[in-house]
Amino acid sequence: MYKDATDMAEAIRSGQVSPKEMVLETIEKAESENPRLNAITSTRYEKALLEAEEGKFAGKPFAGVPIFLKDLGQEQAGEVSTSGSILFANYRAQQSDNYVKKLESLGFIVLGRTNTPEFGFKNTSDSQLHGTVNLPDDVTRNAGGSSGGAAALVASGVSPLAGASDGGGSIRIPASFNGLIGLKPTRGRIPVGPSSYRGWQGASVNFALTKTIRDTKTLLEQFQICQMESPFVLPRLSHEDLFEKSLKPLRVALQLMSPVGGQVSAEAISAVKKAAQFLEKEGHEIIVLDKLPLDGIEAMKSYYIMNSVETAAMFDGIEASIGRQMTQADMEVMTWAIYRSGQKIPAKTYSSILSQWDQYSRIMYDFHRSYDILLSPTVAEVAPKHGQFDLSDQLKDKLRHMDDFNSKEQQDLIWQMFEHSLDWTPFTQQANLTGQPSISLPVYRTEDGLSIGVQVTAAKGREDLLLQIGELFENKNQFM
């Protein structure tokens, strides 16, 4: 009935429908679809209906539009916030974070929270606490991670957009699998804090999964901030930048090979070649890369070291809060392995890794002086079958005994733990390390009706360019 959230807000403003009616309609859709999707972890329907009745929405761009938050971060005061973890099954947030406060100030009404893997560590959404999220197009497949629940709700038509976050592809990967628009903004673009200001050292960014470019543009314009208390400060984009500039001829670097040396499916190659051919037809220059600007394996190893250290620090804080040590019973085996590996990494190693990320940013800055955008597949394959990345019993046994290994051996085991799933989704992580904006666009479907997105990455601060490109694809009916 409604094209997108902008359409919904206009219907409310014009009096065609009330916020309460909109909320009731969305609840009805959610209750109809969620049994087959398993996308929702908790709801606050009664509170949402009361807010819809009593809220003041005048002048708010998304007045009365229902939304679901991701059950990882995105904390709303008083509401359950599990992070997909059995340890936090009954935890309620003590305060709302700045991202959620901003959503509320824009007029959104929060209906509940969406399914995610434990602490967002995987590219599939399946936790021991909440179970697996089914792909709406094929329920034998996973909707992707870590914003899989959010993607499933948007793709199934329950909501036109949903809160999501991206620390290594967690917006773009499920966007690709579900045929959605998935923008990861530039580091520093979206409000952070007050409890955490540098999620995964700035690799993790909140935003949303959407269906239209105009929703994506409006949301970005309203959300963007020059946040001086943040460690990552970014100048705002102007309204003209986002809505009025015309797209000039571009130099497009085309990446076909996996940055970690894995196989890229024929379907993923077809998707990106189709996009490249369209851009070339529209007057843009395509240059096929024979060498990638960054060493993908080296970059991923640095990513896993960061993840290990940050996870160890997180659990140290949890231990101090609850007054006891963590045990294997508190978490899934993959989380345990990451946590324990972080205990043995020297501070000097971690410091050198962060310096390495700065060099990656410099290299990509230089790269974008020659090329306006980098075009690649978003993922190497369509959405995986449930259980496709399950670990062998032998590997799981080693992970349970992580403390028996030295630091190098531990990082080798972390690599083995993610190796299969990384081959499936190797294209997204580098933009998290460098802080660049990157978007997945829904331009291709296989003969079986499964979606594969293409990824467009630009220089820091150039979301306007990504959205111009997205709008070109959308206006020329290239979205599938």
Active-site pick, 81, 96, 146, 176 = 146
Q: Is 232 helix (H, G, I), strand (E, B) or coil?
A: coil
Which residue bears the tokens 């002048």?
59
Tokens of 43: 């709801």
Return the residue matching tokens 């090329």.
371
User: 238-247: which pairs have CB atoms within 8 A and are 24 or more residues apart?
Assistant: 241/464, 242/217, 242/463, 242/464, 242/467, 243/217, 245/464, 245/468, 246/468, 247/465, 247/468, 247/469, 247/472
Rounded Cα–Cα distance for residues 180 and 52 (Å):
27
CA distances (Å), origin 362, targets 52, 103, 235, 271, 366: 47, 33, 18, 29, 6
Residue 90 amino acid letter: N
Parallel, antiparallel or unpaired: strands 126-127 and 109-114 = unpaired
Check: CB of residue 112 under 8 Å from CB of residue 68. yes
Q: Give the count of beta carbons closer than 10 Å to the beta carbon of residue 461.
A: 20
Between CA 227 and CA 184 the distance in angstroms is 18
Residue of 381, 461, 11, 332 whose CA lies nearest to 173: 381
DSSP secondary structure, 443-455, as one string: --B-TTS-B--EE
Catalytic residue (choose from 170, 230, 438, 440): 170
Could you confirm whether 70 is annotated as catalytic? yes
End-to-end distance of the chain based on CA atoms, in angstroms? 19
Q: Which of 20, 60, 70, 344 is catalytic?
A: 70
381 vs 176: CA distance, rounded Å: 10
| CB-based contact 189:221 (threshold 8 Å) | no
Is residue 29 annotated as a catalytic residue, yes or no? no
Distance CA 142, CA 132 (A): 7
For residue 290, count other CB atoms closer than 10 A to its CB.
7
Residues 199, 73 contacting (CB under 8 angstroms): yes
Reference 305, options 226, 205, 373, 407; nearest CA is 407
Cβ proximity of 43 and 106 under 8 Å? no
DSSP 460: T
Q: Is 469 helix (H, G, I), strand (E, B) or coil?
A: helix
Taking residue 402's Cβ as centre, other Cβ atoms within 10 Å add up to: 21
Q: How many CB atoms lie within 10 A of CB 11?
A: 18
Q: How far apart are CA 480 and CA 477, in angstroms?
A: 8
Known catalytic residue: 361? Answer: no
Nearest to 257 by CA among 103, 380, 143, 87: 380
Q: Which residues are catalytic?
A: 70, 146, 170
